[in-house]
């Protein structure tokens, strides 16, 4: 029987509700329970695939090809449970399904309304596809009081009522700010937030209080009193040294104990050894390497959330701290580019990206890495730019480009118009819709025997997640191979280049997929482990 834990947020956004949900999932798992995590997003986009990562952070892609909120990345990194399309829904998707049904006439003349039709659709989504999970942790995006989250709150209120207290628990995350001028922590915003939740009929069972200062017993007591809770149900959530310390912290503060107590479930001792070891490696590294990330949205770290984490995981695997130097690629453009910014870098990475702006700078960064023999990792767009760079510099094809930037006489990278997914053929055309139409999700890739990547992965067939509309043009393969690039990963039908590498280089790998999406702190992705290792080697040379 699955029990439901609903996680809402109040006072301000960005308190780390996604992380809190993920870390609670990890502690419950450490107690031997099976968990699933799910997110309800109140915005009107059908999925975050069409949203700028600059505004919304990265779009996280699941094995089954869903473009989802980046919190699903936290869920996977903390629990190792692969997310699915059925783990993320938005207002946009709910409404588009309902409107399609209404147009088909499925409502048989009924007036279609928020209650019950929208709320029923939300409840159906929350309770579907749970498998054998002991707990579903369901996070509601946004903060209480937002107009757009009301139908979601109403739906979980109804669910709480239908399931009963033994099967539903409401956790509310708030902020307890420190007011420097008063030298005091203030509990009022939390009280108001809890009241606001009550005004939509939800009584929270556990309060998680984010704070930058220790929450003294007196403040905890006051919050409990005003919010109608037992003191033990007011859990302090202070800043941690590493996000991977949060599961340990929650356990110390009794969060998991309170959840299990709420449901009246047994409390087997948790095994938190995995997290202690990760925190030890993160906080006591044996060295440091610097990796330059040359991209476009570098001022918003959430735009490359999974990448950031995967590099940390590579550091964990090598017992080093990975210092990331985010560089706007445009600084390498113009007539006399200066590469000083790359001076201290022990390795260079060009991540996924879209559009022409900044692309020239990325191509130049690739050239720098290739010629100076600095380890280079190109991810998706970063692989495409590596192929264009090689075509231009090594093969003399000055006009080499991608059709993503407009018509070109030398489409080294071109629009993907058809590919095989399972037993079917996917087709795309130039004027197609932008939403949900890329090559998305996990695809097989065969690795060439004796290649660098075959050695790194230790196998010959891998599955990695994709999100791209363009692809290295196979017609240029012979030319690029002659110039020293090895096409070491191909789709099983041999049609789509998936990996290129340069054997005659300390570490030069470009991949069409996004390996960062599958990396976990307790299972660092082999490519990131190997790349950081190459950076360590490089750091010893300079």
Query: 467, 505, 518, 525: which one contacts ligand GLN (CB under 6 A)?
Result: 467
In the bound state with ligand GLN, the residue whose beta carbon lies nearer, of 149 and 402, is 402
Q: Where do runs of H (alpha helix) occur along 200-285?
A: 217-227, 246-253, 255-263, 273-283
Told to check if 518 binds ligand GLN by CB under 6 A, we report: no
Nearest in space to 512 (alpha carbons), one of 457, 442, 433, 434: 442
Applying CB under 6 A, the span of 44-52, 146-154, 347-355, 370-378 interacting with ligand GLN comes to 347-355
Residue 360 appears among annotated catalytic residues: no
In the bound state with ligand GLN, the residue whose beta carbon lies nearer, of 55 and 96, is 55
Binding map of ligand GLN across residues 349-378, x = CB under 6 A, - = no contact: ---xxx------------------------
Specify the DSSP element, H or E, that contains 440: strand 439-447
Q: What is the DSSP letter of 205?
A: S
- Whats the size of the chain, residue-wise? 542
Applying CB under 6 A, the span of 22-30, 112-120, 142-150, 346-354 interacting with ligand GLN comes to 346-354
Applying CB under 6 A, the span of 181-189, 443-451, 453-461, 465-473 interacting with ligand GLN comes to 465-473
Measure the CA–CA gap between 508 and 230, rounded to whole angstroms. 57
User: In whole angstroms, how close is the CB of 499 to ligand GLN at the nearest point?
Assistant: 14
For 307, the token pair is 């990448």
Applying CB under 6 A, the span of 11-19, 39-47, 80-88, 464-472 interacting with ligand GLN comes to 464-472
In the bound state with ligand GLN, the residue whose beta carbon lies nearer, of 61 and 204, is 61
Told to check if 469 binds ligand GLN by CB under 6 A, we report: yes
User: In whole angstroms, how close is the CB of 466 to ligand GLN at the nearest point?
Assistant: 8
Residue 257 appears among annotated catalytic residues: no
Told to check if 251 binds ligand GLN by CB under 6 A, we report: no
Catalytic pick among 380, 387, 395, 445: 380
In the bound state with ligand GLN, the residue whose beta carbon lies nearer, of 156 and 480, is 480
Tokens 């809402």 -> residue: 8
**DSSP letters along 55-86, please?**
HH-PPEE-TT--EE-THHHHHHHHH-PPP-GG
**What part of residues 91-110 is at the interface with ligand GLN (CB under 6 A)?**
none
- HSE, side-chain direction, 13 A CA sphere, residue 468: 32
Measure the CA–CA gap between 74 and 487, rounded to whole angstroms. 32
Catalytic pick among 56, 466, 514, 525: 514
Measure the CA–CA gap between 289 and 375, rounded to whole angstroms. 12
Told to check if 316 binds ligand GLN by CB under 6 A, we report: no
In the bound state with ligand GLN, the residue whose beta carbon lies nearer, of 177 and 441, is 441
Sign of the CA dihedral running 514, 518, 520, 524: negative
In the bound state with ligand GLN, the residue whose beta carbon lies nearer, of 265 and 415, is 415
User: In whole angstroms, how close is the CB of 514 to ligand GLN at the nearest point?
Assistant: 7
What residues are paired with 418 via a beta bridge?
A: 427
Q: How many residues bind ligand GLN (CB under 6 A)?
A: 10
Residue 514 appears among annotated catalytic residues: yes
Told to check if 297 binds ligand GLN by CB under 6 A, we report: no
Measure the CA–CA gap between 72 and 260, rounded to whole angstroms. 23
Applying CB under 6 A, the span of 168-176, 178-186, 466-474, 482-490 interacting with ligand GLN comes to 466-474
**Is residue 382 a contact partner of residue 513, using CB atoms and an 8 Å limit?**
no
Nearest in space to 12 (alpha carbons), one of 209, 247, 200: 209
User: In whole angstroms, how close is the CB of 381 to ligand GLN at the nearest point?
Assistant: 3
Contacts (Cβ under 8 Å, ≥6 apart) of 178: 184, 185, 186, 211, 212, 213
User: In whole angstroms, how close is the CB of 243 to ligand GLN at the nearest point?
Assistant: 24
User: In whole angstroms, how close is the CB of 77 to ligand GLN at the nearest point?
Assistant: 19
Nearest in space to 508 (alpha carbons), one of 339, 395, 371, 402: 371
Kindly report the CA angle at 538 between 532 and 542, in degrees rounded to 5?
Answer: 145
Measure the CA–CA gap between 481 and 469, rounded to whole angstroms. 23
User: In whole angstroms, how close is the CB of 359 to ligand GLN at the nearest point?
Assistant: 9
Tokens 């007539």 -> residue: 335
User: In whole angstroms, how close is the CB of 469 to ligand GLN at the nearest point?
Assistant: 4
Measure the CA–CA gap between 2 and 456, rounded to whole angstroms. 39
**What part of residues 387-416 is at the interface with ligand GLN (CB under 6 A)?**
404
Told to check if 468 binds ligand GLN by CB under 6 A, we report: yes
Catalytic residue numbers read 380, 514, 516
Which residues of the shown chain bind ligand GLN in the complex (CB under 6 A)? 352-354, 380-381, 404, 467-470
């Amino acid at each position: 029987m699955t029990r439901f834990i609903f996680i809402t947020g109040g006072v301000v956004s960005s308190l780390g509700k996604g992380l809190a949900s993920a870390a609670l999932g990890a502690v419950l798992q450490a107690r031997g329970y099976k968990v699933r995590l799910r997110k309800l997003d109140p915005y009107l986009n059908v999925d975050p695939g069409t949203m700028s990562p600059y505004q919304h952070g990265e779009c996280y892609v699941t094995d089954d090809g869903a473009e989802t909120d980046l919190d699903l990345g936290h869920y996977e990194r903390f629990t190792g449970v692969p997310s699915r399309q059925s783990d993320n829904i938005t207002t946009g998707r709910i409404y588009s399904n309902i409107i399609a049904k209404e147009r088909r006439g499925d409502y048989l003349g009924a007036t279609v309304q928020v209650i019950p039709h929208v709320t029923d659709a939300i409840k159906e989504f929350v309770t579907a596809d749970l498998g054998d999970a002991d707990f579903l942790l369901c996070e509601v995006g946004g903060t209480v009081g937002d107009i757009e989250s009301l139908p979601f709150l109403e739906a979980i209120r109804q669910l709480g009522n239908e399931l009963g207290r033994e099967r539903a628990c409401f956790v509310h995350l708030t902020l307890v700010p420190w007011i420097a001028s008063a030298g005091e922590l203030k509990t009022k915003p939390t009280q108001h937030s809890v009241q606001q939740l009550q005004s939509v009929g939800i009584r929270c069972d556990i309060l998680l209080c984010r704070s930058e200062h220790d929450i003294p017993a007196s403040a905890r007591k006051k919050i409990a009193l005003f919010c109608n809770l037992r003191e033990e149900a007011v859990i302090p959530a202070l800043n941690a040294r590493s996000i991977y310390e949060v599961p340990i912290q929650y356990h110390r503060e009794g969060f998991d104990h309170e959840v299990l107590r709420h449901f009246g479930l047994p409390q087997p001792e948790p095994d938190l050894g995995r997290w202690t070891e990760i925190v030890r490696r993160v906080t006591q590294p044996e060295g440091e390497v610097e990796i330059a990330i040359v991209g476009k949205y570098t001022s918003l770290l959430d735009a490359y959330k999974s990448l950031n984490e995967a590099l940390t995981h590579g550091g964990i695997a090598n017992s080093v701290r990975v210092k990331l130097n985010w560089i706007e690629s445009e600084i390498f453009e113009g007539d006399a580019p200066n590469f000083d910014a790359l001076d201290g870098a022990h390795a260079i990475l060009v991540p996924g990206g879209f559009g022409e702006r900044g692309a020239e700078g990325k191509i130049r960064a690739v050239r720098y890495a290739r010629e100076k023999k600095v380890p280079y990792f190109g991810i998706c767009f970063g692989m495409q730019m590596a192929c264009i760079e090689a075509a231009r510099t090594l093969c003399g094809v000055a006009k080499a480009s991608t059709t993503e930037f407009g018509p070109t006489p030398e489409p080294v990278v071109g629009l993907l118009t058809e590919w095989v997914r399972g037993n079917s053929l996917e087709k795309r055309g130039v004027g197609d819709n932008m939403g949900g139409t890329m090559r998305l999700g996990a695809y097989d890739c065969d690795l060439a025997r004796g290649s660098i990547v075959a050695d790194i992965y230790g196998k010959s067939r891998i599955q990695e997640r994709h999100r791209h509309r363009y692809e290295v043009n196979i017609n240029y393969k012979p030319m690029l191979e002659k110039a020293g690039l090895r096409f070491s990963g191909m789709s099983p039908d041999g049609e789509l280049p998936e990996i290129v590498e340069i054997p005659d280089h300390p570490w030069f790998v470009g991949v069409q997929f996004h390996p960062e999406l599958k990396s976990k702190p307790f299972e660092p992705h082999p490519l990131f482990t190997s790349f950081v290792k190459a950076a360590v080697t490089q750091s010893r040379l300079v």
